Structure 1
Amino acid sequence: MTADRLGEPEAAGAVSLPEAAVAPAGVWRRTLRGIPWDRVGLPLFILIMGLFFGSLNPNFFSGTNFSNVARQSSVLALISIGQTFAIISGGIDLSVGSLLALVSVLGSMQMVAFGLVPGILGGVAAATFAGAVSGWLISRTRIPAFIVTLGMLSLARGTALTVSGGLPVVGLPPVVSVIGAGNLGPLPLPGVIAAVAFLLAHCLLTYTPFG
């Protein structure tokens, strides 16, 4: 009887042990392939890193720390928004950091000499002029954006150092400190400005013909 049963074919639908072990692995592979990693990969990595550092220090998830991070990263966030437009168009801009330094120096010096509004307008005009020069060279001379913006990086950095003499600009209007270190209710004002700029850029790229 035992020999006959051993010799009988397996019942229909029965799964051998190796196949049963492989089936869950196949499901996991299909599940992982179906996840849009290009969209969720970076947020997931940031979440994992946040949980890791939060486990090391309980103050990591405090409101004070979140406020400090938002305040300190707001300038980088604004630069990243502008860089996003350059990368989407197939280019790159290496000069953003040096232009930030140059515009800060020129705008601050004009604020001290002429007031808040002329300083802001002067800084915006300087940044616009530098961007227009880089754009003209890239589009008209066909020099790669990498080379043009690398040259603008050196020019802007040297100009900022020469104009400022390597010294900080002092005597700025008090409202500048409010913008950089103030709060809008419980939220840091620089973080709010960066968030508004992000939403505007998102709407521009998503809901307009330009995007």
Structure 2
Amino acid sequence: MSGSALKMAHSYPAGGGAGSQPDQDRRSRTATLGLRVFLAVVSSFFFLFLIAFIARSQLADWQPLTEPAAPLSRLEPLWLNTLVLMLGSLALQWARVAAGQDRRLESLAGCLLGGFCALVFIAGQLWLWRSFVIQGYGFTANPANSFFFLLTGLHGLHLLGGLVAWARTLWRYVRGLGLDRIRPGLSLCAIYWHYLLALWLLLFLLLSSSPETYQTIAALCGLR
């Protein structure tokens, strides 16, 4: 994750002198606040792209991806990727709760599963992109294609950034650090995974909607 909040969560000294508990609590609160600000910025960023998506869908050259012969006429691959991402989010929440109850092995298992699911999700997205290209729905073939690649690609990049923070958290397990040193970063990773899941569900809902739905949204937003 490229936000400074996650970097702060992993910035505690490596040795035993990690500072007093009040210092650690203060750093954790600061990192959480930083993550919230970062997520607010990301939300605004995606909101602008979604508005552009709806506005662009009202032009005559827009070819919906949900038509019978189009790639999104069957949503099974997207549903499968969604289930994988949901499992990853649940796994990191499990790791977070287990860490809070000093169950180290369970926490490690949840952390590993969460990261593995994220990697599987990214692999599934790459496979889906490849299937688009094979069917003749490349990035420049149609404005709807361009937005599909853009929105899902941006989501994937944010997930890749989260995997960097996840890897640093996993490294703390490997080094044998105490759970009190692992919990802050693990908690932020879990929050970030939950956010990316919610964002993906919104993207899924929008990308799989019909042109009539886009027209309704555009009318409500004053874009028609």
TM-score of the two chains, using structure 1 as the length reference: 0.25
Q: Which has the higher contact order (CA 8 A, sep 6+)?
A: 2
The structure with the larger Rg is 1
